[in-house]
Amino acid sequence: MLSLRSLLFLVAGVLAIAVGAIAVPRQEAHGSPLTGFAAVRPGEGDTCALMAGGSVKCWGQSYSSVPVNFPTSAPVVSLAASDTAFCAVETTTGVECWAYGAAAVTPFGWGSGIASVSPGTLHQCVVTTGGAVQCRGDNLYGQLGNGTTTYSATPVGVSGLGSGMASVSTGFGRHTCALTAAGGVKCWGGNSVGQLGAPTGNCDGFTSCSSTPVNVTGLSSGVAAVSIGRQFSCALTTGGAVKCWGLGYGPNPVTISGLSSSIAQISAGVVNLCARTTGGAAKCLGENQFGQVGDGTTTARSSAVNVGGLSSGVAGISSGVYHACAALTSGGGKCWGFNQSGQLGNGTTSGFQPNPVPMDVVVATQKPTFTPTPCPPGGCPTNTPTATPPPLSVLDFSIGIDTNGDTVNDCGTRTGEALKCAIAPGSMFQLRLFLNSLPLDLPQYFGLDVSLELAGVTATGFVEHDWPDCSFGLGPVFFSNEMHFGCGIGVNSPASSYVGLLARAAFTCSASGSLTLVHGGPDPTHLVAGNLSAHSEIPGLDETLVINCVNPTPTPTPQPVGGLATDATGGDDASMWWLLLVGAGVAIGTVVAARSVAQRV
């Protein structure tokens, strides 16, 4: 027979389960829905929008968790985004772009006569009003399309595309695709996983790529739009079907499940694809660790699924790095996915917490409140002060680990930072690579490589090349229980412009897991000039930075003096009944409140 104490705990447990089943946590917007959106363009940590009338508003890491006005030289006709920059075609000043954190636009080598612009990670392309495609920037894999692999700070014409072109897409990687006025698709640049849609040679001696456009297999006509991600490409046919090729699809275009008909628009992100149907609904697929698919889950989707709450009324849709946004026919805007820096525009930040349901982009009616990520049992690790970076005379980089999404290192390799930190199993953390200083005698190209020894740790997301001039390759590469992640930098700017956060890798701890830094230093295979050998290692760095995936030992709560008696007869029954009544009242109140919130949502 159950004792009174056991019965009370059983009843309280049932009430707790009922509350947990109903009161699902939901991040609330702080402000009133903003209207007047013509297009919303998500990047990585920032998002910008073209407003009715040609003005621009931006929000996120470089601005605020709610939209703020961004100054442009003239009214904007069209706006585009990548993971490193935003570019706009303006009415009188041609193309102007701004990198993350910039306070003003920068002319990008194109004046008047530009029909559209597409910024990539490290290169940008336009279509002129005469139908020609021109590109500028990084060209390591021939992504400028001019028959060379030479960087160009000024625009160059793409071979064979001097007229008759309708649009161009540079995506988030090192290849480019364009749509002809006749409905054909041509691609050029890197082709390591078939993202060009046709077999190619080795334009740089060792990597599959093409420095001139090639025709995509089976898509010589009948295409209405093209959009490319990091290592994949997609096309929307005139019949309303979506075909993709490259990473995850193979070298030949295949029709995407769930997007075989009635599609009006597509937008490829780094690892996602979103589409708008002819009926104004939103659909997405791809990686989903931060809820960027928008279906209310964090389950990766290989087939397109409906975005929650957007079954109609979508005027335009756009995918970024780990979040996506939609402009509505009502003039409003909604975003979903990663929100560590306020890039959803709803007046909050949410650390590593996923946001799998679209939320309104708002105008603040009160000071935004920021929701911290819950800490593991035992409390958050104590953040340590960050040392002052050394002068720009040596190669100095460091590794940091952020365990709670506040963008501050909880342990790291810089002076004054702890070399060990812990996080509860099942929790997510970020490993961050910083470049603190560079020598003045830089080579033309060099790389930084970090090796990590993994045990019970899963790489759950990858946010590459945070700095505009950092050109990450294929992301993390696994060798047995090691993962390598690093950054290859082409030096085309003053050394000081490269200093900052280079790359981030997201991990999830499993039970009794750990991550240990094994090695850090320049990648010797990329050192082609300059003398960096004296600074190629950080003394004492090997096997010192450790994060343990363990639950901290809980501290027993002392029994208060004069508290409940715990004799062999079952204790103070009256006190226990009083606690039960209080607990039941709290639980019922929570249920009612949760239902009320659910009805309002």
pLDDT tens for each residue of 1-32: 444 334 333 333 333 333 333 333 445 555 78
Let me know: does 47 contact 58? Beta carbons within 8 Å. Answer: yes
pLDDT at residue 468 above 70? no
pLDDT at residue number 13:
39
Instruction: Give CA angle at 391 (387, 394), nearest 5°.
Output: 105
As a whole-number percent, the residues of the chain with pLDDT over 90 amount to: 45
How does residue 213 score in pLDDT terms, banded at 50, 70 and 90?
very high
- Are β-strands 420-423 and 546-549 bridged in parallel, bridged antiparallel, or unpaired? parallel
How does residue 404 score in pLDDT terms, banded at 50, 70 and 90?
confident
Q: Is residue 262 part of a domain?
A: no
- Which residues touch 1 (CB under 8 Å, ≥6 apart)? none
Half-sphere exposure of 440 (CA within 13 A, CB side): 3
pLDDT at residue number 487:
53
Higher-confidence residue: 397 or 116? 116
pLDDT at residue number 498:
58
Q: Is residue 148 part of a domain?
A: no
Distance of CA 345 to the CA centre of its chain: 15
How does residue 523 score in pLDDT terms, banded at 50, 70 and 90?
very low
CB atoms within 10 A of CB 582: 10
Helix (H, G, I), strand (E, B) or coil at 69: strand
Token representation of residue 99: 């990198």
Q: Which of 392, 377, 393, 584 is nearest to 496 (CA)?
A: 392
Token representation of residue 23: 């009161």
Q: Give the chain's domain count.
A: 1
| Beta-bridge partner residues of 328 | 314
Let me know: does 95 contact 134? Beta carbons within 8 Å. Answer: no
pLDDT at residue 113 above 80? yes
pLDDT at residue 235 above 60? yes
Please report the DSSP string for 84-143 in residue order. SEEEEEETTTEEEEEETT-SS-EE-S--S-EEEEEE-SSEEEEEETTS-EEEEE--TTST
pLDDT at residue number 546:
64
Number of residues in the chain: 601
pLDDT at residue 566 above 50? no
pLDDT at residue 55 above 70? yes
Instruction: Give CA angle at 479 (475, 485), nearest 5°.
Output: 30
Token representation of residue 256: 């995407």
pLDDT at residue number 524:
37
Higher-confidence residue: 154 or 511? 154
- Which residues touch 566 (CB under 8 Å, ≥6 apart)? none
pLDDT at residue 569 above 60? no
- Residue 490 domain boundaries: 396-549
Higher-confidence residue: 171 or 228? 228
Q: Is residue 425 part of a domain?
A: yes
Let me know: does 44 contact 463? Beta carbons within 8 Å. Answer: yes
Q: Is residue 438 part of a domain?
A: yes
How does residue 584 score in pLDDT terms, banded at 50, 70 and 90?
very low
Q: What CATH number corresponds to the domain at position 512?
A: 2.60.40
pLDDT at residue 326 above 80? yes
Q: Is residue 449 part of a domain?
A: yes
| Beta-bridge partner residues of 244 | 234, 254
- Are β-strands 85-90 and 223-228 bridged in parallel, bridged antiparallel, or unpaired? unpaired
pLDDT at residue number 579:
37
User: Torsions phi, psi of 129, nearest 5?
Assistant: -65, -15
Rounded Cα distance between 473 and 469, Å, is 13
Q: Is residue 420 part of a domain?
A: yes
Highest average pLDDT, of 426-430, 557-561, 572-576, comes from 426-430
CB atoms within 10 A of CB 217: 16
Higher-confidence residue: 597 or 480? 480
pLDDT at residue number 47:
96
As a whole-number percent, the residues of the chain with pLDDT over 70 amount to: 61
pTM over 0.75: no
pLDDT at residue 168 above 70? yes
Choose the weakest-confidence range: 58-62, 157-161, 408-412, 576-580.
Answer: 576-580
pLDDT at residue number 171:
87
Q: Is residue 524 part of a domain?
A: yes
Choose the weakest-confidence range: 62-76, 101-115, 206-220, 539-553.
Answer: 539-553
First to last CA, the chain: 45
Let me know: does 95 contact 114? Beta carbons within 8 Å. Answer: yes
Q: DSSP character for 53? A: T
User: Torsions phi, psi of 523, nearest 5?
Assistant: -80, 110
Distance of CA 5 to the CA centre of its chain: 50
- Which residues touch 556 (CB under 8 Å, ≥6 apart)? none
pLDDT at residue number 508:
72
Let me know: does 172 contact 184? Beta carbons within 8 Å. Answer: no
pLDDT at residue number 525:
33
Higher-confidence residue: 435 or 482? 435
Q: Report which secondary-structure segment, H or E, holds 20.
A: helix 4-22
Q: What is the pLDDT of residues 146-160, one digit of tens each?
A: 999 999 989 999 999
pLDDT at residue number 470:
42
Rounded Cα distance between 314 and 312, Å, is 6
Answer left, alpha or beta for residue 205, where phi above 0 means left and psi between -120 and 50 means alpha.
left
Token representation of residue 131: 């139908």
Q: What is the pLDDT of residues 65-111, one digit of tens each?
A: 999 999 999 999 999 999 889 999 999 888 999 887 777 787 777 88
CB atoms within 10 A of CB 161: 23
Q: What is the pLDDT of residues 431-442, one digit of tens each?
A: 777 767 666 555
| Beta-bridge partner residues of 463 | 504
How does residue 241 score in pLDDT terms, banded at 50, 70 and 90?
very high
CB atoms within 10 A of CB 2: 9
**340-376 CB burial, b ≥16 within 10 A, e <16:** bbbbbbbbbbbbbbbbbbbbbbbbbeeebeebebeeb
Mean pLDDT for 339-344 is 92
pLDDT at residue number 460:
57
Higher-confidence residue: 33 or 376? 33
**Percent helix / strand / coil, the chain, rounded to 5:** 10, 40, 50
pLDDT at residue number 486:
52
Higher-confidence residue: 569 or 391? 391
- Are β-strands 263-268 and 250-255 bridged in parallel, bridged antiparallel, or unpaired? unpaired
Q: Is residue 476 part of a domain?
A: yes
Highest average pLDDT, of 220-224, 366-370, 387-391, 553-557, comes from 220-224
Rounded Cα distance between 428 and 181, Å, is 46
Q: Which of 512, 518, 515, 519 is nearest to 547 (CA)?
A: 515
